[in-house]
Amino acid sequence: MLSTQTIGSRSRRFDAPEKALGRERFASDEYPESMLWAGALRAGVPHGLVRGVDTTQARAIPGVVAVLTAEDVPGENRQGFIHWDMPVLCGTKVRHAGDAVALVVAETRQILAEALLAIVLDIEPLPVVDGLDAALAPDAPLIHDLETGNVLKQASLRKGNAQAALARCPVVIEETFFTPQQAHCFLETENGTAYMAEDGTLHMTVSTQAPFRDRFEIGRALGLPPDRLHITAPFLGGGFGGKDGSTVQCLLALAAMHAGGRPVKMWWSREESMLAGYKRHAARMHFRLGAEADGTLTALICDLDYDSGAYAHLGVEIMALGLEHSSGPYRVEHLEANGRCIYTNNPVAGAFRGFGVAQVCFAFEGMMDRLAVRLGMDPLELRLKNAIRQGDKNGVGVVMTGSTGMAECLVGLQDHQFWRSRDEWVQSAPPLTRRGVGISAVYNGMGYGRGLADAAVAKIRLTGDGRFRVYNSVSDMGQGNSPTFVQIVCEVLNQNESQMELVQPDTERSHPSGSSSAGRTTYTYGKALIQACEAMRDKLLHRAAMVLMADEASALSLVPGAVRHTSSGRELPLAVLAGMLHPEDRVCIGEAMMPVTHDMPDGGESFRLGFPHLIFPYAAHLARVEVDELTGLVTVSDYVAFTDGGRVLNPQNFEQQVQGAVAQGLGYALWEDCVAENGQLQTTDFSTYVIPGSGDLPDIESHAVETEEESGPFGMKGIGEVGMNGPLPAVASALLRMGLPMIRAPFTPERVLKVLCGGNS
Amino acid sequence: MLSTQTIGSRSRRFDAPEKALGRERFASDEYPESMLWAGALRAGVPHGLVRGVDTTQARAIPGVVAVLTAEDVPGENRQGFIHWDMPVLCGTKVRHAGDAVALVVAETRQILAEALLAIVLDIEPLPVVDGLDAALAPDAPLIHDLETGNVLKQASLRKGNAQAALARCPVVIEETFFTPQQAHCFLETENGTAYMAEDGTLHMTVSTQAPFRDRFEIGRALGLPPDRLHITAPFLGGGFGGKDGSTVQCLLALAAMHAGGRPVKMWWSREESMLAGYKRHAARMHFRLGAEADGTLTALICDLDYDSGAYAHLGVEIMALGLEHSSGPYRVEHLEANGRCIYTNNPVAGAFRGFGVAQVCFAFEGMMDRLAVRLGMDPLELRLKNAIRQGDKNGVGVVMTGSTGMAECLVGLQDHQFWRSRDEWVQSAPPLTRRGVGISAVYNGMGYGRGLADAAVAKIRLTGDGRFRVYNSVSDMGQGNSPTFVQIVCEVLNQNESQMELVQPDTERSHPSGSSSAGRTTYTYGKALIQACEAMRDKLLHRAAMVLMADEASALSLVPGAVRHTSSGRELPLAVLAGMLHPEDRVCIGEAMMPVTHDMPDGGESFRLGFPHLIFPYAAHLARVEVDELTGLVTVSDYVAFTDGGRVLNPQNFEQQVQGAVAQGLGYALWEDCVAENGQLQTTDFSTYVIPGSGDLPDIESHAVETEEESGPFGMKGIGEVGMNGPLPAVASALLRMGLPMIRAPFTPERVLKVLCGGNS
């Protein structure tokens, strides 16, 4: 562990002033001169054969620069980066109502809207596959021409012999749970600008979580060489997984190829974002859990069905994480986890914070609460008894060699006054109000997992005038990884923030470091950055030794703005030193890869990518919940989260991440649901798709349980996702304690009232 | 220690084919288009006041572009880099016959010669200080206006109490030794070309040992900003220290400043090189050595006088090394070493292989032989008994923490047939011939020593087409450091030489790494290069992991021309990988500094720079010598060298270094002597200054005693100098064994005959 000065302190975020003053430029702030607008015509039909797209009238409108259809797509016309099955523009078939069938480039947004309306679509409707049951029916229409029907991927993981073990268990719990499709609802919807330069390079500024990978996705889809694609990713106004993969990118690039070198802007409206953007997979999860009479967990058999919507995106990998996390952060000796990722004509599902895990945490924690009730055990004691500890094997047989703070988080809750006083609080409920205190214990694998390099390449430059330019190359969606990078550089080089400059990802200035996802950004890039900074420090001390005539670099130290000869106090300003170095010599590049496990359960080999994981952050959440017995309205009045994210680099950022995730998780628990009827989205904007505002949320207390993850930068682990997984099961736990066994989220008043009245949720 | 494949093997030198084919371009091969010639007018007078320099006639000659005098020098007009006391062009005083007083730039070499003859000098002669005695005389004329007279520096080192210890010694030996001024006699005399670009940058290609430092020496002398000086140093046709410091550089730069942007060439003739080039310091050394009756060395008191000639150059630092090495590679408990570096009107002395040490090795080994005779001891046993070993303190109290193979070298000699059969060989001498077998034990501090960074910055580039470009930045004088660098890169990156490109030092392409001197080049730069290569290896494996979808860099390995996924055999050609990397990302820069000691004897602090040293190579030499009793002619019939240079990187290079140094050392012992009479050099060319040809030399057997210097690259130490120090004392040792106590080198027939006839040498 390095000794630290700014690391661990609640320092102001480097990006805060520019953002607070409204000066930070997001992709959507780009309005280049002589700019055109591009927009896509959506199918409107959830499933159908494209008979014709008549663009004649649209083309005739003055100010329309181009009207493009599938025929105009020069490449493979398939988007996606692991399973590429989504057309840029559909030419033969549409598979969900948001499929793009035509692309218009126009002088103004008004002309664009007019031209889109003027395109005449001839689509022959096919029967709509509106959900899992419809997709799995023997005579279900095939959405893609797969031999496996509408099942994109089926897989089973096995550890021990779950069937036999379950048969022997004195206590067996069985239940089926359902989670909804959730929308990311970032403030800044999908957008970007692009132009094709005379040399054939396509320059794009886009709100993306994966600028480096975008080059390959766009390149393949449109037949462009990836090295002629230059992607810049400014700060994002939110991402949460919804910008991990092409949204506007391919359409925008195609538009730019037909814009005669002029810049083109595409910016989806909220409605288009809801219709065509990626969503969290809805899931159906059947669990059978066996335990000993003392509460020791023995065996789990579960069947998970994920609704992938019309296309694959990362559905297979998301299902893999669901299976991987299906037995929760506990020791369970025998596991059989079966999963299916299933095509429907619903909106396309994809990456979302909690990536397949948020779903199973609801289910497994629901099983734990039911088991506690069955055994008459304290639900926290039951969790603590089974909580996974360092050295244990997790559900899929991976030995937890890293920091494992699950028990510490639970102990934190146990000591919290809200837990200790839970009975008094419940008993003092006002009339017609039920109260319950629920808890959840959750975790979330960090990083890509096995099968591909979770790698980063960090760069730092000493500028010609002696400042440090930090090149972030993993998008900052707002989570604050990039100001943390500034903090890391200040720490290792012993500099002040006033000496720092921060550059956001740019494929021509920074180096491939993967996507902003999977709780990996600060971990992987931070490790690489520390290496780059240490190389820079060594370089500067070494070079300064030559100038200051010191025969040992150890006689020197970095101080803000200078190298100091420690004993004599002589200083060489960094601005002077910088002037002596070649530009090439003022750059340090470091690289890092996240470690992987070599443990693998039976069946795990079938996942080429992203399974299993080695390092996990953990969290234990508590919700004080009230239910109005007359309306079924659920109110979360207090919320507490204990989180093990290893060492905390900046308590403020840490807290913000936890609070943001809990807010999103409470939305998932209580309100958010993309409702599609017969494949047509009903929740098209924020009047029907409800996300919590600050008035809907309790204060969210965040406590860090600081373990030391030895592999991590300064001992940290990424907590971008884990906080998302706790609220839904914690609220469900509270409801169960008050006699309301909810199996279907979100817990709307209607559903709760039904259970209050003795029905099922 | 790294495991090795090419390291340690007798691989062909990378530079050999181009040199053998005559295609390598040395500085002297440069004849740029529209080139002018520059030349200096030398004073001719060893000491005098400049009354006038009439350039009128010279200027009038058609084809003369410029005739410059001291008035035209814009800067400080002082050369030198530690003590800068040598004018570029003398304006008021000349201090030796080779001083430059005017500089001509002309269209052709013929016009140049004519113009130099047409300049009229008016110099008022001053009394000539023709040697040490004259310089130290109470009424000696002052060569520089020093308060210390003609003594540039006087210093004393003390360890223990030598006076008292010596007084108690049962055996005391006393003698005075003399060594001559020696010329470097490189094949390629001092030369370069230069031009001033329109942007004010002065570009120079020059035969130099210190291109990076030259910028500062030229810059200060001529008032040019060092960062506007661009120096390129191709392979040198020899250097040996004589190109460590400005030779043509300042004159050439001054000429280029007056050439209207045209390139100018300056190339000293052999005669000009002999007259104006640097020389090895002549020395007078008075030694008193005290020992116990069993041969244990106890105390040394010595007085060393070094003749610096007209200017300081590195005289003070050279004297420091003389004092440091004055007690030989032995344990001597009490030391008092007094030194003086003295100005005379002789040619300027400066750096030369063996840097102050070659002189004292002659003296101290002479003392050892005399002590052996006095005690009736075997001279090898006496040396072995006292030889310094790891953990011992050397003469100036520095603990030998590194590899210390002195005894091993002596044991090597002891087992050699030439030593074991010495009596038979001596007894079988032909008539009128005396025979003797002499030995010497020598060492030589490696690197700069304390007070300045012995540092290097190594660079390697993966080219766009997947080859490796190795940037040497310490001049290769022919010693083969740069092909060894290629070998190192091949080793660390597991590549073949066919993948390699080698670039010689260039201040705009490579990075400051100090001078090619002090046995430091392969050690310091090699360490830095290993670091750069390891960074390159890590980088390439890491980047390839991303492309090959490997989740661990350890799954990959470098093979010639590619990165291979070890288990699957899949390969990513380096040419493909290179195409994916930014140019900036294809460069790795490593740095290294030589470790220093914190031990310091009394009086040592007065040397700011270059004293003391921590790491030493060692050698034991043997010479079988015959003397013709009629003529005094000395012939070395066989020669053996055992050398501890740590681990041997390339046995062929090692052997070449040893053989070259021994040849130069035998020249020093038997022939070479810069004779000046009243300050006028008599040995102006190779008809009067005699260097050995191959017919004059015996076969030279080289044996490596491989110790492991843990601090060194692959365990090596630099042996550029140590081999120079052995021949003179080894030959003297042989002569002493045959009754010829020589105290003055070289051992010319005249001197030997005199001793044969009962006189002193």
Q: Residue B664 phi/psi, 5° resolution? A: -65, -35
Q: Considering only CB atoms, which chain B residues are within 8 Å of A591?
A: 538-539, 542-543
Contact B276, B100 (CB under 8 A): yes
Q: How far apart are CA B623 and CA B727, in angstroms?
A: 8
Q: How far apart are CA B364 and CA A317, in angstroms?
A: 78
Both tokens of A622, joined, read 């508590």
Distance of CA B617 to the CA centre of its chain: 14
Shortest CA distance to A247 belongs to which of A280, A292, A277? A277
In chain A, positions 220-249, which contact chain B (CB-CB < 8 Å)? 227
Our CA dihedral for A132, A135, A137, A142, rounded to 10 degrees, sits at: -170
Fold of B355-442+608-756: Aldehyde Oxidoreductase; domain 4 (3.30.365)
Residue that the structure tokens 């493009």 belong to? A68
- Residue A502 CA: distances (Å) to CA of A27, A402, A463, B230: 16, 31, 12, 33
Both tokens of A508, joined, read 């021509």
**List of chain A residues with pLDDT < 70:** 1-4
| From B542, B552, B596, residue closest to A591, measured CB to CB | B542
Four-residue CA torsion sign, B337, B341, B346, B352 = positive
Contact A735, A747 (CB under 8 A): yes
Q: How far apart are CA A606 and CA A608, in angstroms?
A: 6
Fold of A279-448+599-756: Aldehyde Oxidoreductase; domain 4 (3.30.365)
Q: B612 to chain A nearest CA, in Å?
A: 12
**List of chain B residues with pLDDT < 50:** 1-3
Q: Considering only CB atoms, which chain B residues are within 8 Å of A593?
A: 542, 545, 551-553
Residue spans per domain, chain A: 16-24+455-593, 31-126+190-267, 279-448+599-756
List A90's β-bridge partners, or say none: none
DSSP states of B433-457: EEEEEEEEEEE---S--TTS--EEE
**For residue B81, what pLDDT is reported?**
87
**How many Cβ atoms are within 10 Å of B168's Cβ, its own excluded?**
13
Q: Considering only CB atoms, which chain A residues are within 8 Å of B568?
A: none
Q: A578 to chain B nearest CA, in Å?
A: 12
**Per this entry, what is the length of chain A?**
761
In sequence order, what are the residues at sequence separation of 6 or more whose Cβ sits closer than 8 angstroms to the Cβ of residue B94? B43, B45, B46, B47, B48, B50, B101, B123
Interior angle at CA A515, CA A509 and CA A520, nearest 5: 115
Q: How far apart are CA B660 and CA B186, in angstroms?
A: 12
Residues A542, B457: C-beta atoms closer than 8 Å: yes
Residues B550, A454: C-beta atoms closer than 8 Å: no
3-state secondary structure of A227: helix
A512 near B CB under 8 A: yes
Residues B450, A551: C-beta atoms closer than 8 Å: yes
**How many Cβ atoms are within 10 Å of A210's Cβ, its own excluded?**
28
Residues B589, A508: C-beta atoms closer than 8 Å: no
DSSP states of A263-294: -EEEE--HHHHHHHS-EEPEEEEEEEEEE-TT
**For residue B1, what pLDDT is reported?**
37
In sequence order, what are the residues at sequence separation of 6 or more whose Cβ sits closer than 8 angstroms to the Cβ of residue A420? none
**For residue B68, what pLDDT is reported?**
98
**Complex ipTM:** 0.92
Q: Considering only CB atoms, which chain A residues are within 8 Å of B512?
A: 543, 546
In sequence order, what are the residues at sequence separation of 6 or more whose Cβ sits closer than 8 angstroms to the Cβ of residue A61? A106, A111, A114, A115, A118
In sequence order, what are the residues at sequence separation of 6 or more whose Cβ sits closer than 8 angstroms to the Cβ of residue A603? A155, A156, A157, A158
Please report how many Cα atoms fall inside a 13 Å half-sphere around the Cα of residue A751, on the Cβ side: 18
Shortest CA distance to B526 belongs to which of B496, B478, B482? B482
Both tokens of A223, joined, read 């037949």
Residues A551, B454: C-beta atoms closer than 8 Å: yes
Q: How far apart are CA A601 and CA B114, in angstroms?
A: 91
Q: Tell me: the pLDDT tens digits for A409-443?
A: 999 999 999 999 999 999 999 999 999 999 999 99
Both tokens of B671, joined, read 């022939």
Under DSSP, the state recorded for A348 is P
**For residue B3, what pLDDT is reported?**
45
Give the H or E element holding residue B37: strand B36-42
Q: Report strand pairing: A191-196 vs A182-183.
A: unpaired
Both tokens of B505, joined, read 């030092």
Q: B515 to chain A nearest CA, in Å?
A: 12
In sequence order, what are the residues at sequence separation of 6 or more whose Cβ sits closer than 8 angstroms to the Cβ of residue A3? none
Under DSSP, the state recorded for A553 is G
Contact B432, B630 (CB under 8 A): yes
Distance of CA A311 to the CA centre of its chain: 18
Shortest CA distance to B491 belongs to which of B679, B650, B688, B600? B650
Shortest CA distance to A257 belongs to which of A291, A221, A311, A293? A221
B543 near A CB under 8 A: yes
B577 near A CB under 8 A: no
Q: How far apart are CA A404 and CA A236, in angstroms?
A: 32
3-state secondary structure of B381: helix
B542 near A CB under 8 A: yes
Q: Where are the alpha helices (DSSP H) in B549-650?
A: 574-580
The CATH number that domain A16-24+455-593 falls under is: 3.30.365.10
| From A452, A538, A584, residue closest to B587, measured CB to CB | A584
Four-residue CA torsion sign, A557, A559, A563, A569 = negative
In sequence order, what are the residues at sequence separation of 6 or more whose Cβ sits closer than 8 angstroms to the Cβ of residue A721? A353, A354, A355, A357, A444, A518, A519, A617, A661
3-state secondary structure of A120: strand
CATH class (in words) of the domain with range A31-126+190-267: alpha beta
**For residue A451, what pLDDT is reported?**
92
Q: Residue A205 phi/psi, 5° resolution? A: -110, 120
Q: How far apart are CA B456 and CA B593, in angstroms?
A: 7
What residue type is assigned to position A119 of the chain?
I
Residues A545, B593: C-beta atoms closer than 8 Å: yes
In chain A, positions 441-500, which contact chain B (CB-CB < 8 Å)? 448-455, 457
Q: Is it true that B16-24+455-593 and B355-442+608-756 share their CATH fold?
A: yes
Shortest CA distance to B121 belongs to which of B87, B93, B79? B93
Residues B538, A591: C-beta atoms closer than 8 Å: yes
Q: Considering only CB atoms, which chain B residues are within 8 Å of A454?
A: 551
Q: Where are the alpha helices (DSSP H) in B178-304?
A: 211-222, 249-256, 270-276
Q: A748 to chain B nearest CA, in Å?
A: 43
Q: How far apart are CA B500 and CA B493, in angstroms?
A: 11
Interior angle at CA B740, CA B737 and CA B746, nearest 5: 110
Question: Largest Cα–Cα distance in chain B?
Answer: 85
DSSP states of A603-667: TGGG--SS---S---EEEEEEEEEEETTT--EEEEEEEEEEE-BS-S-HHHHHHHHHHHHHHHHH
Count A/B contacts: CB-CB distance under 8 Å. 95
**For residue A2, what pLDDT is reported?**
41
Residues A539, B589: C-beta atoms closer than 8 Å: yes
Q: What b/e readout covers A727-748, taking b as 16+ CB neighbours within 10 angstroms?
A: bbbbbbbbbbbbebebbbbbbb
Contact B192, B256 (CB under 8 A): no
Shortest CA distance to B361 belongs to which of B736, B144, B621, B60? B621
**For residue A608, what pLDDT is reported?**
82
